[in-house]
Amino acid sequence: QISLKESGPTLVRPTQTLTLTCTFSGFSLATPGVGVDFIRQTPGEALEWLGLIYWNDDKRYNPSLRSRLTLTKDTSKNQVVLTMTNMEPGDTATYYCAHTNIAAGGVLAAFDIWGQGTLVTVSS
């Protein structure tokens, strides 16, 4: 059974760097086709895709945030880490990681399993 869980600070000061860890079980990020995405949801409920890291270490980022985002994976620890620099109050949101699979027979790149989400508040 696949599960994911986000962890990291709940409060970040403006200009600081956010580091979020997605720890997962039930799948391997070494399996062809598998990926982990990060998505955030603002208090107004809009969903914004941040980025994706694939099994082969291919990475994709939202161009609107590209300069601030970095994704890395540790396959042995079953973890993906997202760093976002220069945080500002507009980055206050619930941050989710989610499993995806582009392999044949998969869910055609949809996000089939989500973590519970973690609320990050940016405030001085």
Partner 1 sequence: DIQMTQSPSSVSASVGQTVTITCRASQDVGGWLAWYQQRPGEAPNLLIYGASSLQSGVPSRFSGSGIGTEFTLTISSLEPEDKATYYCQQAKSFPRTFGQGTKVDIK
With CB under 8 A as the contact rule, the residue among 84, 111, 120, 122 that binds partner 1 is 111
With CB under 8 A as the contact rule, the residue among 2, 11, 30, 109 that binds partner 1 is 109
Structure-token pair, residue 19:
């580091």
DSSP sequence for 9-52:
-SEE-TTPPEEEEEEEESS-TTSTTEEEEEEEE-TT--EEEEEE
Query: Per CB under 8 A, does 59 bind partner 1?
Result: no
- Whether the CB-CB separation of 22 and 114 falls below 8 Å is answered with no
With CB under 8 A as the contact rule, the residue among 57, 74, 88, 112 that binds partner 1 is 112
Binding pattern for the stretch 12-51 against partner 1, x by CB under 8 A and - elsewhere: -------------------------x-------xxxxx--
What is the C-alpha separation between 17 and 54, in angstroms, rounded?
23
**Phi-psi label, residue 15: left if phi above 0, alpha if psi -120 to 50, beta otherwise:** left
- Give residue 65's identity as a one-letter amino acid code: L
With CB under 8 A as the contact rule, the residue among 55, 82, 115, 122 that binds partner 1 is 115
Query: Per CB under 8 A, does 63 bind partner 1?
Result: yes
Residues of the shown chain interacting with partner 1 in the complex, contacts defined by CB under 8 A: 37, 45-49, 52, 60-64, 96, 107-117
